[in-house]
Amino acid sequence: MLEKIQAQLAPTQTKLIAVSKTHPPERVRELYDRGQRIFGENKVQELVAKYEALPKDIEWHLIGHLQTNKVKYIAPFVACIQSVDSLKLLAEIDKQAAKHGRVIDCLLQFHIAEEETKFGLDETEAMVLLQSAEFQSFKNVRITGVMGMATFTDDQVQVQREFRHLRSIFEKLKAQYFAEQTSFKEISMGMSGDYLLAIAEGSTMVRVGTLLFGAR
């Protein structure tokens, strides 16, 4: 399955985040040995445990909700925090990254699904964040794009509409706030059930768990 998905992503150079949450380090190691280097986890404790158990050239992405009091545990090594949904959280990431002399890549997470439960900013909240003087003072975080989760539904038209919405937010933010920054380029969308549609809608990163590791 890994090789099949990699082949599907190759024409658009979309990156594959292998979502290993709930699966033991040995399963990560299997995909690592087949060449996969980017893995995603949604819980801090599990991310730290796997970081410690596995090769250090793995690029770890945090894709789940992050509490400010836990940023310190991942700041030394995390490659990208995909779930930034507040200025307060970003301030803490900046502070902890500075302690380690790092600049941490972050994605702004947007709420694009119909479901109430999913975390994320809306467009206005993101603009307020990006325009704030506090944000502009940060030196140890770099916003490299946006992330979103579509509604869990078989309705492909709805999922497509939500992906297009995320892409339009990306384009708008790019034009207004990041026009000169080539590093602002990521649209993280698409999971096991909808990654092909996500690629067609311009995703640059898909986050695939179940298809690679089996059911959780």
Ligand X SMILES: *Cc1c(COP(=O)(O)O)cnc(C)c1O
Q: Which residues bind ligand X (CB under 6 A)?
A: 19, 21, 42, 63-64, 149, 191-193, 207-210
Q: To the nearest whole angstrom, how small is the minimum distance from the Cβ of residue 213 to ligand X?
A: 8
The least distance separating ligand X from the CB of residue 111, rounded to whole angstroms, comes to 12
Smallest gap, in angstroms, from Cβ of residue 135 to ligand X? Answer: 23
Least distance in Å: CB of 212 to ligand X? 8
Shorter beta-carbon distance to ligand X: residue 91 or 198: 198
Nearer CB in complex with ligand X: 140/192: 192
**Would you say 111 or 207 has its CB closer to ligand X?**
207
Helices (H), 100-209: 123-131, 133-137, 156-177, 195-200
Three-class SS state of 145: strand
Beta bridge partners of 19: 40
Instruction: Specify the residue, 100 or 214, whose C-beta has the smaller distance to ligand X.
Output: 214
DSSP for 40-107 reads EES-HHHHHHHHHHS-TT-EEEE-S---GGGHHHHTTT-SEEEEE--HHHHHHHHHHHHHTT--EEEE
